[in-house]
Amino acid sequence: MLNDRLDQLTDYPFDRLRALLDPITPPPVSPLVMSIGEPQHAAPSFLREVLDANAALWNRYPPTNGTPAFRSAVVDWLNRRFHLPAGMLDADRHVLPVAGTREALYAIADLVVPRRKSGGKAAVLIPNPFYQVYLGAALMAGAEAVFLQAGESTGFLPDFSPLEPAASNDTMFDPYVLDRTALAYLCSPANPQGAIMGADALERAIRLARRHDFVLAVDECYSEIYDRDPPVGALEVCARMGGDLGNVLVFHSLSKRSSVPGLRSGFVAGDPALIAAFARLRAYGGAVTPLPVLTAATVLWRDEDHVDRSRSLYRAKIDAAERILGGRFGFRRPPGSFFLWLKVGDGEEAAKALWREAAIRVLPGAYLARPTANGVNPGAGYIRVALVHDQETTEAALRRIRDIL
């Protein structure tokens, strides 16, 4: 009765975490969840007003491609944020709303992964460690998941070089894997490590996608949470390369940017042929965004003040983490995102100790990675800590984490 591809999926990270920690009795204090990247900053004050003012729209079916106002707001934001030339993006051809980017990042594999490519099983490239949705999408689409090292030795960024034909004889990879590749996921700033891909690295990835005719799906959901310099975006690099958007899609969400994960609103933008095909697919199986939500999202994409305030709060928590943890556990100030990727020796044992002694839940890094050919899981020695709570709570938790570990 079930799709046998489900057997290839491991338990979702938070299911694994419950299995690890539920047998342990924590101390009798309020538990603190730092395992999940769920923003706890207050949502913008005007959000409720906009939703209430548009309550009459709840009884209308929303169109798959959203509203002209929403698409125009997205294009205006992309132009401002990524310094795109006027006319590069067309609101009707280059943008599609999605009900949160997790759904879209999963569904893109349904769109672009064929049964076979270049005479072999289609492949999907995934950074390792990675956001688990990438793997689920690849496996359920019937593809071979090919993991790119993204550990300390590569600056926590995915390394494509072992896939190049010149290196193929010296690596574990099939020399034709790039020709078989249908889709490659990138995440910048990266979840969980917080690393940011520079313009040159993104350009190399885009050129590789075009040379081997695969789709580059760039998850930029953390692009507005950064320490000092705004991360470069894939569309920005496309502009630098002459404006061609072929083979490139970017995914953005309001969940992190605007602290509204419950709104379930984001968008995908890029290659117009892919956007048109994605709209066709989503007319059958996509979760469309309700019109009141689209209206609220339109206002959010046009407002930067609440984003600046939230970014300042995250930066202050990173400052505190540097004061409290600096010099320990491989601490590095993440250029982007709100995660700490701490090197603790054994992530599962560290997670159990923190739960047992302080009722603090963190995520073992092994749950966000897959073992390489040598059997080593690149996340096994790490924990991911989400700095999503208020400043006082976060600082107290970081001191407890330091003392216990």
**257 inside domain:** yes
**Interval 354-361 mean pLDDT:** 98
Q: What is the pLDDT of residues 39-87, one digit of tens each?
A: 999 999 999 999 999 999 999 999 999 999 999 999 999 999 999 999 9
Give the CA distances from residue 253 to residues 75, 224, 268, in Å, rounded to whole numbers and listed in that order.
Answer: 14, 10, 9
28's tokens: 């009798």
pLDDT tens figures, 196-211:
999 999 999 999 999 9
Average pLDDT for 363-370: 97
51 is a domain residue? no
Same domain, 331 and 288: no
Q: 342 with 270, same domain?
A: no
As given in the structure block, the two tokens for residue 290 are 């309700």
- How far apart (Å, rounded) are the C-alpha atoms in residues 268 and 393? 35
Based on the domain organization, do 275 and 351 belong to the same domain?
Answer: no
Q: What is the 3-state secondary structure (H, E, C) of 255-311?
A: HHHCCCHHHCCEEEEECHHHHHHHHHHHHHHCCCCCHHHHHHHHHHHCCCHHHHHHH
Query: Which residues share a beta bridge with 226?
Result: 336
- The pLDDT of 333-353, averaged and rounded, is 98
Once rounded to an integer, what is the mean pLDDT over residues 358-379?
95
Looking at the domain assignment, is residue 55 inside a domain? no
Please determine, for residue 171, whether its predicted confidence score (pLDDT) is greater than 70.
no
The closest of 200, 150, 204 to 368, measured between CA atoms, is 150
User: Which residues, in sequence order, are bridge partners of residue 361?
Assistant: 33
Is 53 inside any structural domain?
no
Degrees to nearest 5, angle at CA 17 with 12 and 22 = 130
Q: What is the pLDDT of residue 176?
A: 86
**Which candidate, 266, 257, 295, places its Cα nearest to that of 50?**
295
Number of domains the chain contains: 2
Q: What is the pLDDT of residue 172?
A: 60
User: What percent of the chain is modeled with pLDDT above 70?
Assistant: 98
Instruction: Check whether residue 244 and residue 294 sit in a common domain.
Output: yes
**Tell me: the pLDDT tens digits for 297-329?**
999 999 999 999 999 999 999 999 999 999 999
pLDDT at 11: 85
Same domain as 135, residue 209: yes
Name the domain boundary from 303, 331, 348: 303
Calpha distance 108→269 (Å, rounded): 12
Q: What is the pLDDT of residue 184?
A: 98
Q: Which of 17-31, 156-170, 303-317, 339-353 has the lowest mean pLDDT?
A: 156-170
71 and 213 housed in the same domain: yes
The mean-pLDDT minimum among 157-166, 178-187, 241-250 falls in 157-166
> Are the CB atoms for 161 and 153 separated by under 8 Å?
no
Domain assignment present for residue 316? The answer is: yes
**In angstroms, rounded to a whole number, what is the distance separating the alpha carbons of residues 181 and 163?**
11
Please indicate, yes or no, whether residues 225 and 362 belong to a single structural domain of this protein: no
Residue 231 is part of a domain; what is its CATH number?
A: 3.40.640.10
Q: Which long-range contacts (CB under 8 A, 24 or more apart) does 250-253 make?
A: 250/218, 250/220, 251/98, 251/101, 251/104, 251/105, 251/217, 251/218, 251/219, 251/220, 251/221, 252/74, 252/101, 252/220, 252/221, 252/223, 253/100, 253/101, 253/221
Q: pTM value?
A: 0.96
| Cis amide prior to 364 (ω within 30 degrees) | no
CATH number of the domain that 361 lies in? 3.90.1150.10
What is the residue whose two structure tokens read 């953005």? 252
Ramachandran class of 264: left when φ > 0, alpha when ψ lies in -120 to 50, beta otherwise: left
Say if 50 falls within a structural domain: no
Residues above pLDDT 90, as percent of the chain: 92
380 close to 346: Cβ distance less than 8 angstroms: yes
Among the candidates 303, 318, 335, a domain finishes at 303
Q: What is the DSSP letter of 136?
A: H
pLDDT of 136 higher than 90 = yes
Residue 49 lies in a domain: no
Are 25 and 98 in a shared domain? no
- Looking at residue 78, its pLDDT comes to 98
Same domain, 315 and 383: yes
Per-residue pLDDT, 173: 67
Residue 48: inside a domain: no
**Burial level of 380, CB count in 10 A (0-12/13-18/19+)?**
middle
Q: CA neighbours within 13 Å on the CB side: how many for 251? A: 27
**Given the structure tokens 């310099």, which residue do they identify?**
229
Q: How far apart (Å, rounded) are the C-alpha atoms in residues 328 and 322? A: 10
Task: Supply the mean pLDDT for the chain.
Answer: 96
Residue 167 pLDDT: 56
67 shares its domain with 36: no
The reply to whether 202 and 111 lie within a common domain is yes
- Same structural domain for residues 27 and 170? no
Boundary (domain end) residue, out of 303, 321, 352: 303
The phi-psi region of residue 107 (left if phi > 0; otherwise alpha if psi is between -120 and 50; otherwise beta) is alpha
Domain that holds residue 10: 4-42+306-404
User: Is 90 exceeded by the pLDDT of residue 218?
Assistant: yes
Q: What distance lies between CA 243 and its chain's CA centroid? A: 24
